[in-house]
Structure 1
């Protein structure tokens, strides 16, 4: 595609309240995922694998750890002119406030984008799990002579109420937009046209926006020449009325991992025999920071359908359907079932008083997320009682939080020996 220069803009999201407490001390894109990765690695790797090497990441909350991860991971040689650069909210003579929404964040950074002289902007989300050849998306945009293209995924009627729904004709041109239609609303006229996208499952009759867009550069600058703050709720519906907006149907796996429940389930799905998202694709790897850790050491443990990352020490434990992060230490006779254990940022020095970083002896843990550097004392029982817990802080145990009946042990939390939750 001669003469085409695409610039990628990844939206890092707001405060990440739906992923709290994982976002208490870090931004949403910096949340660890899949044992050794961060959520942001998915979107950045999609760009790199699609030969888009100029990437801006827009964020404004708790961005220190994200800055460190990006600077340590994505370093291009000087001849490629590639970069992954974070643009946090900043005060200028023109703008003195925070980002007010996705569109506002892009608008306030045009001064940086325009220096790259792009012909097209690719807008991506920083909290989704998917693989996409963005060059194919861009080709579809060019071939259809669209001014704006929207990546869509096919959903059934029940799921449609959680998305922005697109109405498109047989050519894929989007003619109408509806934000999260009520479950009792008749939207049968919004079904995918007969014969279009013939490979669609019969029950998935609606097109949902993935929050991924391509704009011709001049069009985006014109579309944002106003005070509107959000792409999905304001910019896109307005532009559909006056421009050619095209649907690009993504047929692969796609998951929004913006809530504790979806984050937990997406992690646990990685432990299945054939996970929905495949990290083992040599043609399109997911990149992350290379920590140069030693191999994991397994001392007579029983591990079934689980992921273990580098630098772990696991001794006589029983682990099932769990994701074990880097530098994880799990002591003797502990049992983990459906656990996302993020590991640690450092190794503890010998002789430190306990509880030590990691999981102590004879613990039983299930249906839980354990954030980094947590210290779980001996004989703790977490999530194995079968109880239903109300959402929010678990008052009886400082450092524990409940969301959708998943117990989250906060980063750096200390859980005393013998604790039962």
Structure 2
């Protein structure tokens, strides 16, 4: 089945500078997560699980790898109207600029959307980690007679200063909005939340950047060329004029906005009972189907770690780490609290001999890696020591970046033998 009432728009975001260097050569939605997925797989999978199978992904920065991933992953029947299409910013006689914000991206692409029959726009972000039943949000939107619905999540006073905060009445109708309020203003911005949320001190409703708009209303709102952003302009301006519903969500949700949150979200998958459940059959996360062999381990002690398929591992120890597809880790190496994204290919013996390769893709022998993100296709020589942590100052070189104590080895970088960061 296909939910023909809804057209989903997934916003790819801007340049992704806060996720640099992971976004140096790829758009934010194309950043690998959990060892085998891409960020864009999250909203797309949530849609598919709700039978919403008409989706556009809007992007303008480094969209080639995102295009490849979607083209190679999401195939529907020839006899179906289902699709996932990437729309990159395009210049037309009417629009001579790139996307100026989230709303402007939708405005510039509106002529593509209106070719389809549907009642509601579902606007989603391409850089969040969560599992949500959009059908329940659509049902609540319809039953309330709202013109706009905003998914909200209860947050604490400490978190509230980092979000757009909404205030709702006892019928969940949003009455006011404030962007990143100062701490002294917070007592005026509490909303009605469940008893469980109250016990956790989560009394403030933060916008999740997930919206439902009636088709006619959003089409009309997009006629104003001076409004470029949903969170900063469209939503605040619409609350007083159009009935806007707060749809409260109390599950796991995190905004992958920077290196620290990206790292914590991935390492969190190694918990005994992770907050983001990759094993829920009803909330499956879909991605490209790869015909990879099973992972092979030899003499390795593994504790609280996630290892993707196709790896060849001879490490001494892997602890609280996520190891991505086709990863190779050499003898006597130790990997702790690290996200290793893996590789795009295996190196053959012929290639190694032909190119006289001294340092192979992956982690060499007798290495110690802790508190790091190793991007794809990196070559780490023997006896390398990386000891990330708060004791390290933020810095950047051609090979790596240190941010908030996390060492990020750049995509395709080569670290020579005995190289040290500590």
Q: TM-score, normalised by structure 1?
A: 0.96
In structure 1, the partner of 2:233 is 234
- Give 2:198's match in structure 1, choosing from 195, 198, 201: 201
Q: Indicate conservation of the 8 Å contact 1:356/1:376, yes or no.
A: yes
In structure 2, the partner of 1:137 is 137
Q: In the TM superposition, what whole-angstrom CA distance separates every residue of 1:133-157 from its partner, at most 9, and x where no partner exists?
A: 1011000000000000000000011
In structure 2, the partner of 1:153 is 153
Q: In the TM superposition, what whole-angstrom CA distance separates every residue of 1:217-244 from its partner, at most 9, and x where no partner exists?
A: 0010112221210000000000002110
Q: In the TM superposition, what whole-angstrom CA distance separates every residue of 1:360-414 from its partner, at most 9, and x where no partner exists?
A: 0000000000000000000000125x562232314xxx31111111000000000
What is the correspondence of 1:14-413 to structure 2 with a 5 Å cutoff? 14-183=14-183, 185-193=184-192, 197-202=194-199, 203-226=201-224, 227-350=226-349, 351-352=352-353, 353-383=357-387, 388-394=391-397, 398-413=398-413
Q: In the TM superposition, what whole-angstrom CA distance separates every residue of 1:51-86 from its partner, at most 9, and x where no partner exists?
A: 100000000000000000000000110222100000
Please report the RMSD computed on the Cα atoms of aligned residues, expressed in angstroms.
1.5
Aligned with 1:87: secondary structure? Answer: strand
Deviation at 1:2, TM superposition (A): 12
Q: Indicate conservation of the 8 Å contact 2:270/2:306, yes or no.
A: yes
Q: How many pairs were matched up?
A: 414
Q: TM-score, normalised by structure 2?
A: 0.96
Distance 1:277 1:55 in 2: 23
Greater per-residue helix proportion:
2
Listed as ranges, the gaps of 5+ residues in structure 2 are none
Q: Indicate conservation of the 8 Å contact 2:167/2:205, yes or no.
A: yes
Distance 1:297 1:132 in 2: 34
Q: Indicate conservation of the 8 Å contact 2:46/2:131, yes or no.
A: yes
In the alignment, does 2:10 pair up with 1:6? no
Deviation at 1:3, TM superposition (A): 9.6
Greater Cα offset, 218-227 or 229-238: 218-227
Q: 1:69 to 1:123 in 2, by over 3 A?
A: same
Q: Indicate conservation of the 8 Å contact 2:140/2:247, yes or no.
A: yes
Distance 2:178 2:10 in 1: 24
Distance 1:26 1:358 in 2: 21
Distance 1:15 1:383 in 2: 29
Q: In the TM superposition, what whole-angstrom CA distance separates every residue of 1:168-212 from its partner, at most 9, and x where no partner exists?
A: 0000000100000012x232122113xx53442331111000000
Greater Cα offset, 197-206 or 302-311: 197-206
Distance 2:195 2:79 in 1: 44
Q: In the TM superposition, what whole-angstrom CA distance separates every residue of 1:2-40 from its partner, at most 9, and x where no partner exists?
A: 996100000000000010000000000000000110011
Aligned with 1:154: secondary structure? Answer: strand
Q: Indicate conservation of the 8 Å contact 2:3/2:53, yes or no.
A: no
Distance 1:291 1:365 in 2: 28
Distance 1:219 1:255 in 2: 29
Listed as ranges, the gaps of 5+ residues in structure 1 are none
Distance 1:207 1:311 in 2: 43
Q: Indicate conservation of the 8 Å contact 2:36/2:308, yes or no.
A: yes
Q: Indicate conservation of the 8 Å contact 1:317/1:330, yes or no.
A: no
